[in-house]
């Protein structure tokens, strides 16, 4: 999934500054790199995407996060949007959908 996200975003001209393997790494990496945009799966090891997004947003309310999710996780997506996640993309997704979500989040 990270490869698909990376390929879609680099094709749209975005620079990838890092990739985390789990929620704990995502939180630590955000603190180190302060990227313009974060894409994060709801389902991750060690710490799920909601927990990681919540921690990032608690430290930086202006963080721009897009959640990537599977069908059937609508209740989790509603929580994510309420906490400040900018958008979500449902797997499987065409690259253009992620590119649109990134453009929207960055404006």
What pLDDT score does 58 carry? 96
Strands of 65-70's sheet in order across: 38-41, 65-70, 87-91
**Domain ranges within the chain, ordered by starting residue:** 2-105
2-105: CATH class: alpha beta
Could you tell me the CA-to-CA distances from 102 to 47, 72, 75, 77 in Å, in that order?
23, 22, 22, 17
pTM, whole model, 2 decimals? 0.91
Query: Given pLDDT bands bounded at 50, 70 and 90, which one contains residue 73?
Result: confident
């Amino acid at each position: 999934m990270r490869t698909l996200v990376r390929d879609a975003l680099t094709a749209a001209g975005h620079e990838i500054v890092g990739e985390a393997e789990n929620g704990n790494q995502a939180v630590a990496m955000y603190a180190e790199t302060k990227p313009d945009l974060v894409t994060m799966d709801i389902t991750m090891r060690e710490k799920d995407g909601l927990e990681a997004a919540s921690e990032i947003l608690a430290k930086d309310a202006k963080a721009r996060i897009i959640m990537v999710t599977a069908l059937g996780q609508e209740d989790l997506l509603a929580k994510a949007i309420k906490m400040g996640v900018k958008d979500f993309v449902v797997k499987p997704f065409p690259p253009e959908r992620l590119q649109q979500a990134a453009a929207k989040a960055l404006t």
